[in-house]
Structure 1
Amino acid sequence: MKKLLILLLFIPLLSCNDWLTVEPEDSVTFVNYFKNESEVEAMYNGILASMKSVCMGTQPYFYISIDADNVGMYYEGFRTLDPFTYLADESMVLDIEWGEFYNVIYLANVMLENEYRFENISKERTEFWLGQAHFAKALAYFRLAQIWGDAPIAKSSESIEPEGKKTALEVLNEALREAKLALTLPTHDKLINANGSKITSKQYASLGTVNTLLANIYAWLGGLTHEREYWEEAERYASEVIDGKCGVYELESMDGLVSNVFGANRNSRETIFCIDNDPLDVDRKWWSELKTELPGQMLMSYPYTTTDEAAIANIVNDSWDEYVKITVETVKNIYPEESDARRREFWFELGELTYPVYEYDEETEEEIEVGREVTPYAHIAKWRDVIKQTSEEVTSWAGEVVIATDGDWVIWRLADLILLRAECRVNLEMATAVNDLNTVRYRAELGDYTGSKDKESLRREIFDERRRELFGEGQYYFDIVRNGYWKEVLYGNFTTLTDQDVKNGALYAPVGVGAFTKNTLMTQNTYWQWQN
């Protein structure tokens, strides 16, 4: 037990290559580990700890994916592609770094390269943990390619040689290679931990998770290259999951979606992959406001983060562009059909919510309520369960405050995959694309899609449906890039990008300063070299 504790303490200090700013350790470090399955599991727990940053960190895409009329003065520069916002002091708002991504790759490599040290563990169980490691590597490389495009491919956990970047296509192919090595994993209902207990967490990979990852990688390749073979492979892997060949996944009812997928129940057959969010992990958070983990949570306010009606008025009267906000009109334009159940379930009293209006009374020298008005702004209700901090020691003067949403952070769910398959099918000109679109519409209490079914019209409708269904879940920017709609739906400098700008990496984040510290072969994306 003591050596396990020591190993876990040192995991954050380890990294994949010298160009990640941390010195690597050689294999001798692990000569006394992997003596049983519990120690292998402990190493994988280190990977799980870094997985959140790979899937959700506040990279530029996070702020571009805030689908709102106003994203606040601090974040506006991200969705207008303002160079100062991205590059000044390595961004004043966030760190554009990939260290945690390579930490996942490093730890996965350690597991894979030390397989020969595993003791007292069966071949079947060895294969299980190696499959988890391959999935983690695949996911990290996929996300690197999505966010930064070109990126290094690590040779091994012991390599200290500088590494130049590989093209985005090479990085994606590395992700494909690793993901396919994880296809040996069982379905989710058959996942077992080192103690022989059933794994219920969907942060662990299963056959369904791996196939979903492969579908996403191939769809991204299809969007980048427009080559038919990639759409075909994406459609095939998505179908494996949707058709029940990789375990049981089912769409929730409309109200079950909010409570079971996004809420505290944390138990849904619609969820394919998520990041565990345990209330115990945040019980000592010191900040006195909601820590948003998904873009849509930036729109959370009344009545989930506060029940003070003044908060509604503050958003209405904001003249400093401080609040992230979306108008009722915009929400209704996104959801144009009045009978769409997502108007009701995803938004709080849409177009009906009122707030008090006050006037100053000179005689009493007090603010007096003189009436009520309907707020022009919408308040999201997709995440309703929250974690409150009540410890005065932690919150000090703030009292009881909301510090996080109470629910797992969902990365992929079945409705997402169904619509991704619809996108693949429309690019393949398959008539069944509309069937997938209708499947998601039915859950939203809508009838069949009756609009134009020509390829481009249907492709845009599927994109719009993904915007409606996955609102705020972090997919929006990647959907825009994959479909090539940045000039149509984004803002500022995005609307004037040339084909050469895009080829030079304008749609990717710039490489962070930390990547250059010890790596003489590192180069900045061409587009960002000219933005300094």
Structure 2
Amino acid sequence: MKQLFKTHKILVLTALLFISYSCEEFLDRPTEDNYTIDSFYKTDEQCFQAANVLYSAPWYDFQRGFVWIGDVLAGNMYLGTDNNYQNFNLTSSNEDLANAANSLWLVNGHCNAVIENIRTKAGPDVSEETRNTVTGEAMVWKAMAYFYLVRIWGAIPIIHSNSEIIGAGNATELPKNQIEDVYEYIVRTLLKAIELLPEQNIKGRINKTSAYGLLAKVYLTRSGYGQNGTRNQADLDKAKEYAAKVVNESGLSLEPVYSNLFRISTGNFNEENLLSWRWVASDQWTSQNSLQSDLSLNGFTGLNDSWGTWRGPTIDLQFAFNEDAREPRNNRDDRRKATMMMKDDYYPYFWRHVGGFTCTWDDDNNVAGATFGIGTGANCVKHIVGHFEGDHKDEAGVPARRMATDLATHILRLADVYLIYAEAILGNNETTSDAEALKAFNAVRKRSISAHTDVSSISFEDIFKERRLELALECDNWYDFVRLHYYKPELAKQWLNNQERGSFNGLRQYYDAEIEKSEVTIESFKVNITSDSKFQLPFPEVDLAMNPNLRDDVEPVPFDFSTIEY
């Protein structure tokens, strides 16, 4: 396993090694020549190729932690009651947590390398527009990496320049910086990116609207930090201001069919997806999306590379959708079926070469021969493509490979910004009937709820639940609990402690008509979070060994912003 800060000593070289990755048409491969840094960055094309890696490879090892942190901690995903994410028993020895940390620091290092190389290596034939655009893209991805880091680990070192750290030789002595300074660094980085980015970019690449949306989310999150019961109004106003630029000025609209957002052909480059990781199933490891293997049913892909039968959405998430594995589906909310599959659900886009897939819970007779077994009675749909050839080839034009799909992973969607806008307007009020807030909130709901009736007033709890339903299994819900904990820690703990994280007893026997519905019981499992420390995950032990300043007993220090420039 790579060591967190040791990686920064090789990032200038590895940034160049990874530029051969491609993702769809807008991430074309460079030629097969062997480049050095000094001979690269000489044309507009080469500069864009250097930024291509930022959309995929360095994020790869974050994929598993992305799900476990974002949805298992949040109570949306069941991994078993003895799982350390599900029962909040994480330690510094957790491998997926270490991989996540390494991946996020690798992203930061790659972004720094691209920014520095554009500034110092770009040749005279590189246009000013290209210099600005590529630098802006790198700054947004850098801000995104820090946004994850600060919400997962709290106080962390700010590494503004690879070359300065390498030159100083102090990578293993960097102090943690205060949380408020990390947020300020993210804000400043995004504001500079906005100055540089174009209004429109090549389809699928970052533009001003992407940065506006992320900045709105950062301000909304920061608004609660260091507060007691209420949020900082200046930050709420900024969240509203930047969200409004996306909601009211971008010209973008919600995709009419929710499930289309999560298919390769209709979702990878859908305008609703503002910020996405771009993957491709290729011979180059880390270029691909591997989430299908972790989350889809055993046997579901046709490649013997899936093991998600005993992983899936929790009972609590089912109840949030007003569904129950012991009852016939009501299907009142299209998002439920596009998020989780339950008994008798039919999917025309899975196993389409044989007429589609029905969730029968019959291992011998379902068309995929897929194994069902999770005690919650639900399996994942998001992040799933389906059969490696019948579905992936139909969607992408090429078959999937083992543990490798082309499906983009969406990090920021337009609907998310709609709900950020509504919440920023609500602010510290108990409820709001503001027309703009209601318009945004109702737009998200009416897309997916067939019997939707516009609400005339909304509360924070309404928005919090709507965010959960809209973004479930998109690995974002845990960070809503983190930001709630910033200013209302007892409420955050209460809502988590009230969740049902257990499983059903007798569900399979009920489906096989061996017992009555009344005999199906819930083997309840609930967490008992009393410590605020659960909202900040432990640093990996390899990082603590490399840099003792990361220890809990070492106080973070202020960051000197006068020492940096963009």
Task: Tell me whether the two structures share a fold, i.e. TM-score over 0.5.
Answer: yes
Match of 1:341 in 2: 334
2: CA distance between counterparts of 1:131 and 1:329?
40
Superposition deviation, residue 377 in structure 1: 1.4
- Displacement of 1:389: 7.8
- Per-residue deviation, residues 183-226 of structure 1 (Å, max 9, x unmatched): 134556x32xxxxxxx32x2x32111111110111111023232
SS at match of 2:98: coil
Q: For each residue in 1:113-159, what CA deviation from the matched residue of structure 2 results, as whole angstroms up to 9, or x when unmatched?
A: 34143212122222122212222222222121111111001142222
Q: Distance in 1 between matches of 2:178 and 2:433?
A: 34
- Give, in whole Å, the separation in 1 of the partners of 2:45 and 2:277: 22
5+ residue gaps, structure 1: 1-12, 192-198, 316-322, 359-374, 391-399, 528-532
> Which residue of the other structure, out of 491, 510, 530, is the alignment partner of 1:497?
530
Rounded to whole Å, the distance in 2 between the matches of 1:517 and 1:330 is: 38
* 1:496 maps to amino acid: I
Does 2:79 match 1:61?
Answer: no
In the TM superposition, what is the alpha-carbon distance from 1:436 to its structure 2 partner?
2.0
**Residues 103, 339 of structure 1: CA spacing in aligned structure 2 closer, same or farther, 3 A cutoff?**
closer
Post-superposition shift, 1:512?
1.6
Cα distance, 1:264–1:325 mapped onto 2, change above 3 Å = same
The amino acid that maps onto 1:388 is: F
Partner of residue 274, structure 1: 276
Choose which of 420, 423, 447 in structure 2 pairs with 1:443: 447
Counterpart contact for 1:141–1:171, Cα < 8 Å: yes
| CA deviation string 1:318-371 (max 9, x = no partner) | xxxxx124477862443468632334444446567544599xxxxxxxxxxxxx
Do the aligned partners of 2:213 and 2:246 also contact (CA within 8 Å) in 1? Answer: yes
Quick one: distance in 2 between partners of 1:141 and 1:284? 21
User: Amino acid of the residue matched to residue 509 of structure 1?
Assistant: L
Within the candidate set 531, 536, 539, 1:511 is matched to 539
Distance 1:100 1:302, change over 3 A: closer
| One-letter identity of the residue aligned with 1:140 | A
After superposition, where does 1:124-523 map in structure 2 within 5 Å? 124-158=129-163, 159=165, 160-161=169-170, 162-186=173-197, 190-191=200-201, 199-200=202-203, 202=204, 204-224=205-225, 225=227, 226-245=231-250, 248-254=251-257, 257-265=258-266, 266-280=268-282, 291-292=290-291, 300-301=296-297, 304-305=300-301, 323-326=310-313, 331-335=318-322, 339-348=332-341, 354-356=360-362, 377-383=377-383, 385-386=385-386, 388=388, 403-404=403-404, 407-429=407-429, 430-432=432-434, 433-444=437-448, 445-450=450-455, 453=457, 458-484=459-485, 485-491=491-497, 495-498=528-531, 502=532, 505-523=533-551
Amino acid across the alignment from 2:441: L
Q: Secondary structure at the match of 2:412?
A: strand
Q: Is the 8 A contact 2:61 2:103 kept in 1?
A: yes
State the one-letter code of the partner of 1:507.
F
Aligned twin of 1:34: 41
Opposite residue 229 of structure 1, the aligned amino acid is A
Distance 2:192 2:152 in 1: 23
The answer as to whether partners of 2:44 and 2:126 remain within 8 angstroms in 1 is: yes
TM-score (norm 2): 0.67
Aligned partners of 1:206 and 1:54: how far apart in 2? Answer: 25
Give the superposition deviation at 1:23: 5.8
Q: Secondary structure at the match of 2:474?
A: coil
Alpha-carbon spacing, 1:49–1:409, altered in 2? closer, same or farther (3 Å): closer
What is the CA deviation profile of residues 47-86 of structure 1, one whole-angstrom value per residue up to 9, with x for unaligned ones? 3344524874515514535745742256x2213221xx42
How far 1:109 moved relative to its partner?
A: 2.6
AA in 1 matched with 2:440:
D
Structure 2 CA distance, aligned partners of 1:25 and 1:102? 13
SS of alignment partner, residue 388 of structure 1: coil
For residues 139 and 174 of structure 1, what CA distance do their matches in structure 2 show? 11
Q: Is the 8 A contact 1:301 1:379 kept in 2?
A: yes
Distance 1:236 1:112 in 2: 28
* Residue number in structure 2 paired with 1:117: 121
CA gap 1:380/1:335 in 2 versus in 1, 3 angstroms: farther
TM-score normalised by length of structure 1: 0.71
- How big is the shift at 1:515? 2.4
1:5-16 → structure 2 map (5 Å cutoff)? none
Relative to structure 1, the CA distance from residue 406 to residue 335 in structure 2 (aligned partners, 3 Å threshold; closer, same or farther) is farther
Q: Please say if residues 250 and 270 of structure 1, whose CA atoms lie closer than 8 Å, have aligned partners that are also in contact.
A: yes
Question: Which residue identity lines up with residue 238 of structure 2 in the other structure?
Answer: E
Letter in 2 for 1:133: A
Q: How far apart are 1:239 and its partner, in Å?
A: 1.0
Matched ranges for 1:93-108 at <5 A: 94-95=97-98, 98-108=101-111
Q: 1:97 to 1:22 in 2, by over 3 A?
A: farther
8 Å contact 2:215–2:242 — kept in the other structure?
Answer: yes
Amino acid at match of 2:103: E
- Structure 1 pair 327/171, CA: closer, same or farther in 2 (3 Å)? closer
Shift of 1:447: 2.3
- How do 1:38-53 and structure 2 match up within 5 A? 38-53=45-60
Contact 1:487 1:494 survives alignment (8 Å) = no
Distance change in 2, residues 1:301/1:181 (3 Å): same
| Rounded Cα–Cα distance in structure 1 between residues aligned with 2:363 and 2:159 | 60
The 2-side partners of 1:277 and 1:270 are apart by 18
Secondary structure, counterpart of 1:223 in structure 2: coil
2:33 alignment counterpart: none
Contact kept, 8 Å, 2:60 with 2:287, in 1: the verdict is no
For the structure 1 residues 306 and 437, does the alpha-carbon distance in structure 2 shift closer, same or farther, using more than 3 Å as the test? farther
What whole-Å deviation, never above 9, does each CA across 1:442-492 have from its counterpart, x for those lacking one? 1013423548x47xxx11111111111111110111112222353233258
Give the distance between the partners of 1:470 and 1:389, measured in 2 at CA.
Answer: 28
Matched residue type, 1:78: Y
Read off the aligned partner of 2:270 and give its amino acid letter.
Answer: S
Out of 71, 83, 90, the residue aligned to residue 79 of structure 2 is 71
Q: Is the 8 A contact 1:71 1:324 kept in 2?
A: yes
Corresponding position of 1:393: none
Shift of 1:415: 1.1
Shift of 1:181: 0.6
Identity, % of aligned positions: 19
What runs of 5+ residues in structure 2 fail to find an aligned partner?
Answer: 14-35, 324-329, 346-358, 365-374, 391-399, 486-490, 498-524, 556-566
Distance 1:383 1:303, change over 3 A: farther
- d(CA) in 2 for partners of 1:449, 1:464: 16
